[in-house]
Chain A
Amino acid sequence: MIKVAKVVKVGIADMNFVTTPDMLKTSGLGSCVAVILFTRHRQVAGMAHVMLPSSSLNHSPSLNQAKYADTAIQALLAGFKKHHIAGYMLKAKIAGGAQMFPFASQKDDGLARIGPRNVKAVRQQLEAHRIPLVAEDIGGTAGRTVVFDPATNILQVKTADRGVAEI
């Protein structure tokens, strides 16, 4: 049977999994970071749209795991476990972490430079879980839309000004 490929959307502070031939997409990343975990052999991929670096910032009675770098990566790992895929089989690609408003919010709260902080937190979490980060498209001052295809493990990164790149 031939399966028709779907593009599964990942919203802000959201996560999802797909198997081939489906793809994962998240749109309009600014300071947020898309974390994609995948494995060469099983053709399964998970994506989280991370908004903030640490769940210690959570003041809500309920915790949205996909929102924070630490809990998002834990939740992705847990999702792979359900597919019987262990952490050591995984690789990661990340994109995002831009600084959209370089002059804004400088003397303000700790949320200035949130993009680079998100990237740093995601990298630290990947390292802590011993997941190799094989490609990244991060920083800068432009927004990104990303599409991941687990059939090829290619991450397509589209920016408003630079067009489409593949990493």
Chain B
Amino acid sequence: MMNEFSELDLDVLKEIGNIGAGHAATSLSLLLDRKIEMHVPAVKVVDFDEMMNLAGGPEERVVAVYLRIHGDAPGNMFFVLSPMQAGMFVKQMTGVVSCQFTDPPYDDMAVSAMQELGNILTGSYLTSLADFTNMNLQPSVPALAIDMVGAVLSYGLLELSQYSDQAIVVETLLVDETGSTQDIRGHFFLLPDPDSYQKIFTSLGVNAHD
């Protein structure tokens, strides 16, 4: 099924990543009171192992916020950060210096602040996506995992894996404008269910089989 997409289709998905992550970057800027920028989104057709490599490799420990998208175009979404970056975010948000995700056990407040951050970012991504496509898209309550990339992201591939050995990954990177070694890098991964692509394209007036 993954070979059926045209360049135009992939451009549409790229634009979705652009709009969603653009809004999320704005939310994050407001939250942290510093300028956050966004890289041009990448839309890639990758096999599952390649997808894990995009997020740092299957064994790499990450902080990931996962949510299920319900409604007109169901799918899965992840926001993935390195434990170091997640710790920095939460320190800036809460002002509590002890917040960290590099060594368990984790502070309850750090976990709940990270969950809230994920909630805000994925929520603003999804809201803008719903507005853009004029579809009804509702996020589930986001769940947080601090674990290996493969263990976390493979959960989002379960629906898809029944149809294909490849995934279309709409990947967007958020970066701190200073570009220093302290910069913030966060990955959004949008993984629509197989049936959802056609609905997304139709909602935007694009016929996937032109």
Name A residues whose Cβ lies closer than 8 Å to a Cβ of B: 11-14, 27-32, 51-52, 57-60, 64, 67, 98, 100-105, 108-109, 111, 114, 142-145, 160-161
Contacts of A108 in B (CB 8 A): 68, 70, 140
Cα distance A14–B49 in the bound complex, in angstroms: 10
A52–B150 contact, CB under 8 A? no
- In addition to A100-B155, A101-B66, 11 A-B residue pairs with Cβ atoms within 8 Å of each other are A12-B48, A12-B157, A13-B161, A28-B151, A28-B152, A57-B162, A114-B158, A143-B150, A145-B59, A160-B61, A161-B104
Name B residues whose Cβ lies closer than 8 Å to a Cβ of A: 1, 47-49, 52, 57-59, 61, 66-68, 70, 104, 140-141, 143, 145-152, 154-155, 157-159, 161-165, 194
Cα distance A142–B147 in the bound complex, in angstroms: 7
Contacts of B57 in A (CB 8 A): 27
What 9 pairs across the A-B complex have the smallest Cβ distances? A28-B150, A143-B151, A30-B151, A28-B58, A143-B148, A27-B58, A101-B143, A28-B148, A11-B49
B155 to chain A, nearest CB (A): 5
Contacts of A60 in B (CB 8 A): 1, 162-165
B158–A100 contact, CB under 8 A? no
Pairs across A and B, CB under 8 Å, 24 listed: A12-B58, A12-B154, A27-B57, A27-B148, A27-B150, A28-B52, A28-B151, A28-B154, A30-B151, A30-B154, A31-B155, A31-B158, A52-B161, A59-B194, A64-B165, A104-B66, A105-B140, A108-B68, A108-B70, A114-B155, A142-B147, A143-B151, A144-B151, A160-B147
